[in-house]
Amino acid sequence: MAQYDTDILMIGHFAKDLLVVDGRAESASGGAVYYGSLALRQLGVNVAVVTRLHPDDFPRLKEMEEAGVKVFPVPAPATSGIENIYNSADMERRICKLIGFAGPFQPDDLPDIRAKIYAVTPIIAGEVDLPLLKHLSGRGPVALDIQGFVRVPRSGDLVFEPWPDMAEGLQYVTYLKVDRAEAELLTGLTDLVAAAHRLAEYGPREIVITQSAGVTVFAGGQVYQAPFTPRSLAGRTGRGDTCFATYLGKRLTASPQEAASLAAAITTLKQEKPGPWRGPLAEAEALAARTAGQT
């Protein structure tokens, strides 16, 4: 039987973000590796993180380490950061501006550990290139959040552009995560199920699509859906990161429908308060049971 050092190895930049709501700014830790790894620990999943950031910000990683995340920090000339500007009347929409970039990952940045899933979760285009993606696929199943390939820095703004290497890149991916806007950008299709079919043609075995109403999963030719039902959007930042990570964590031991249902429940609870989801797991499981069958 294969021996694994961790369940999921996440690769992506930790972020020192600025969250601006109605003109009021607040500094916050962020990035998919942050929101995702802390949520996974609440599921009891073993998770390791490879990230790049300025050494002055290494103390910010203590929060993850104290939760049981194995962190492999790589010194970088800067720490990545995004300014997320919201209007509280519509927390669905945001303006994103780049305030720091920690540079591209190199093969030597990766620790020599075996994982059941290699989750590539960059936040900005340029973190991970095609050769590194191909290298990881040689190690095992790759999960990919496409935001880190289509969210491109242009003159200080972050704009969405097609991923030029998508046709080749998606050949190396087993689990693909996109949101509604990304799905439409990449396929030209507004119907999420049709978009998922189209993206699966490139190679990914499972497609996870998030939108404000919930999550849609396309796996094994079947479509699975689960709703988001938050009472507040105060914790909107990190929604997709939380959903994808918890889907992957639950998917290690459960069906796509069970994984989608629990991920949607956790994401619902996460959206109700700022910061990463910290449980309790029983609350999320109860919510998943109550919302089963809703879409």
111 pLDDT band, cuts 50/70/90, is very high
204: domain CATH number? 3.40.1190.20
Structural domain contains residue 86: yes
**Is the per-residue pLDDT at 21 higher than 90?**
no
Structural domain contains residue 112: yes
Structural domain contains residue 253: yes
Structural domain contains residue 169: yes
Structural domain contains residue 3: no
Structural domain contains residue 1: no
* Assessment of whether the complete model's pTM goes beyond 0.85: yes
**Is the per-residue pLDDT at 60 higher than 80?**
yes
For the chain, give the mean pLDDT. 94
Look at residue 128 in the predicted model and tell me its pLDDT: 98
**Is the per-residue pLDDT at 194 higher than 50?**
yes
Look at residue 109 in the predicted model and tell me its pLDDT: 97
Mean pLDDT in residue range 251-274: 97
Q: What percent of the chain has pLDDT over 70?
A: 97
**Is the per-residue pLDDT at 1 higher than 50?**
no
Structural domain contains residue 233: yes
Look at residue 2 in the predicted model and tell me its pLDDT: 64
Structural domain contains residue 214: yes
**Is the per-residue pLDDT at 91 higher than 80?**
no
**For 64-79, how does the pLDDT look when each residue is reduced to its tens digit (9 = 90+)?**
999 999 999 999 999 9
- Parent domain of 40: 8-291
Number of domains, the chain: 1
DSSP labels, the chain? ----SEEEEEE---EEEEEEETTEEEEEEESHHHHHHHHHHHTT--EEEEEEE-GGGGGGGHHHHHTT-EEEEEE-SS-BEEEEEEETTEEEEEEEEEEE------GGGS-S--EEEEEE--SSTTSS-HHHHHHHHHHS-EEEETHHHHEEEETTEEEE---TTHHHHGGG-SEEEEEHHHHHHHHS--SHHHHHHHHHTTS-SEEEEEETTEEEEEETTEEEEEE---S--TT-TTHHHHHHHHHHHHHTTS-HHHHHHHHHHHHHHHHTSSS-----HHHHHHHHHHHTT--
